[in-house]
Structure 1
Amino acid sequence: MRLAAGTALVLLALPLAAAAQEEVLRLPSGLEARVHEVLTDRPAGGGLTYRFRFVAEGFEGGEAGLERVMEDLEWLCVTYALPRLSNIGPRPGRVVISLADRPSEFGVYNPAVIQVFEAYRPEGDTCIWEMF
């Protein structure tokens, strides 16, 4: 993976990270997700960003489930990511939530992995969707 100059990517060491990965999160769509990893970076000019990456076996992409997936991503941001921000470090300007059908290496294209992601601005106790 090649990063642009001035960009740092760090895997966050969260307390009880192993336990968090085993925690099953029941999504509004009915899928069950687990935390894959949490990353932080500072894209050039983009400010501090936390990336919460989730895996849900049985997740299928495509246009038909887009509304359902958007609801799942927002739910993960509000109910999982936001409550953990103060335990991670400085408050980020952006939170990116991703959901995939299987674990994958961040930043490495794998055509076998179905993945969606969205960016949110944390504001109080809610996540404001931001288009890329």
Structure 2
Amino acid sequence: MCAAMLLLASPLAAAEVPSGQEVVLHEVLVDAQETVTWLRFRFLTPQIAAGATQVSFDVAGQDMLHLCETVALPYIDEYTLSGDKVVISFMDRITEFGQPDPDAVQYFESFRPENGVCMWDEF
């Protein structure tokens, strides 16, 4: 398990996304590994919870790209952060980073910041 430095915890910050689902920035973590530094933006998104009205990963993926470009990149610039990858994660309930929660629904997408845009990147 790696050590991640918490940059933002409270207050929670709401964000708008193309799907219109409720999205709240929960925390930002700088996760420096041996060869790569991950900038992790963790969002509370209750509408991804399993059920008849669940927001699918396909829909959420567009929201994640939007948040990377409209929330993560400006945040990185504002706080002069340096990282190789940006991870946008959605969780239907607050979970502790790095701790399994089999009841939680979570979606993840990785991006490479490049010339002011977010390029999709495989984990």
Normalised by the size of structure 1, how large is the TM-score? 0.81
CA contact (8 A) 1:98 1:115 kept: yes
Alignment of 1:47-126 (within 5 A): 47-60=36-49, 65-126=56-117
Cα deviation digits, residues 21-41 of structure 1 (max 9, x gap): 1x3222211201111111011
1:37 is paired with a residue whose SS is strand
Aligned to 1:25: 15
Deviations 1:36-70 (A, max 9, x none): 1110111222x2211000001222369x8232111
Structure 1 alignment gaps of length 5 or more? none
Using a 3 Å threshold, how does the CA distance of structure 1 residues 120 and 89 change in structure 2: closer, same or farther?
A: same
Consecutive aligned runs of 4 or more in structure 1 exceeding 6 Å deviation: none
Classify 1:95/1:35 alpha carbon distance in 2 versus 1 (closer, same or farther; 3 Å).
same
Once the two structures are superposed, the pairs formed by residues 28-39 of structure 1 within 5 Å of their partners are 28-39=18-29
> Are the structure 2 counterparts of residues 120 and 54 from structure 1 closer, same or farther at C-alpha, using a change threshold of 3 Å?
same
Give the 3 Å change call, closer, same or farther, for CA 61–116 of structure 1 in structure 2: farther
- Measure how far apart 1:130 and its partner are: 0.5
Identity of aligned residues (%): 38
The question of 1:131 aligning with 2:122 is answered: yes
What is the aligned-residue RMSD (CA, Å)? 2.0
- Among 3, 11, 31, which residue is 1:8 paired with? 3
Classify 1:130/1:35 alpha carbon distance in 2 versus 1 (closer, same or farther; 3 Å): same
More strand by share: 2
Equivalent residue pairs, number: 120
Q: Using a 3 Å threshold, how does the CA distance of structure 1 residues 90 and 56 change in structure 2: closer, same or farther?
A: closer
Whole-angstrom distance in 1 between the partners of 2:21 and 2:15:
8
User: Contact conserved, 1:99 with 1:117, CA < 8 A, in 2?
Assistant: yes
